[in-house]
Structure 1
Amino acid sequence: MRENWRIKVSVLAGASALAFSALTAVPAVADEAVEDLQEVQMPAGVKIVEGFAPAAGADAPSLEPTADALFSAAAAAKAAPGANTCLGSTAAYGATGCFQHNGDIVWAGDTKKDGMSAAVGVYTDYGRAAEVCINKLGVNTWATCDKDYRETGNVRLRVLRYDGNTGKFYQPESWSGWIPVDGKY
C-alpha cells in the first residue's frame, strides 16, 4: 500500500514539473501576441541590408506555417531539394525566414501589422561577417536579399523584429539549424 502511494506521488511530481517547464521554457511563436518586446543587442559590425520585393511571378514561400508544410519541406530537403526549395524555415512573432540555396537568397516575411519590420540575420560557419535582411515592405509580404555564400559552407538564420525608427532589434526570436549553402544535407 505504501509503495503505491510513493509511485502516485512521484508520477504526480514528475507531471507537475513537466507542465511547469513547458509553461516557463517555451518562447513565443509566430501566432502568439507579444505585449512587451525585449530589445536584442546585435554583434558589433552586423551589416543591415534592406530586402527587395521578389520578382513578379517568383515562387515565394508561404507566410502561413503549417505542420504539414514544415514536415514536407524537411522531407524534401533531406531527399533532394528542388532549385527553389526554401530551407531552414523558422518563425517568431511577426517574422518568418528561410534560405533558398539556388541563388543564395534569404527570404524575410512580415506577418504582423505592428509598425515593425521582419528581420532575418544570416550567420556562417566560416567566419563571414553576419548580415541582417530587413523586410520594410509591410505586413503579409516577402522581401529577398540576394547573397553569395561559399558553396562548401553553412548558414544559420536568426528571425526577429526590427524597428526602423530606432534601429533596434527585438525578440522573441528564433534560430534555424545549420543549412548547407549547396542545399545538400
Structure 2
Amino acid sequence: MRVFGIDCGTEITGFGVVDSDDSGRLSRLVCQTSGAIRLGKTLSASQRLAEVHRILSAELQRWQPEVVAIEEVFYSVNAKSALKLGQVRGVALLAAAQCGLPVAEYAPLSIKSSVVGYGLAKKEQVQFMVARLLSLSALPEPADAADALAIAICHLHTAQTIALQGGPR
C-alpha cells in the first residue's frame, strides 16, 4: 500500500510518501519521498493556496498513492490561525478529491502515539522515530516533512491493525 501523508501548515506544508513492503517475512515501511512546500510571505492568501494546490496535485499525480492521510483539524486558541490552517487543509482535501483518492484523517495525538508511543511527543522525538521506522540515514527535514511521513506511517499502522482484525481497509 502506498500512502501520501500531508502535514498542513500556513507557512510550510509537508508531504511524504510511504510504502508498505509485504514481500518479505516481515513487512517493512519504505520512504519514497518527502518534502515541503514553503510559501512566500509576499504572496497573497489566494496565491499561497493556489501554490499548495498546484504542488500537491503534481506530487499526487507523480506518486500515485492509494490513499491520502492528513491530520484532523487542530483547534487553536487563535481563531485567525485556525481559519488560515483550515484553508490550507481544504486545498489539500480538494487536491486529493480531484485525483479520486480516499482520504483518512487522524488526530495529532493518534499520529504521535502510533509513531512514538506517546501522544504528547515533541517534534524532535517524531523526527527521530520516523527516521528509525523508515531506516533513514538522517532525520527527515524539515520537521513538517517528518510530520507528513508520520501521518502516512500512522495510516499504515492503522490499516495493518484493521486487516489483522479482519475488518475493511
Higher relative contact order (CA closer than 8 Å, sequence separation 6+): 2
TM-score normalised over the length of structure 1: 0.25
Structure number having the greater strand percentage: 1
Structure with the largest fraction of helix: 2
TM-score (norm 2): 0.26
Larger radius of gyration: 1
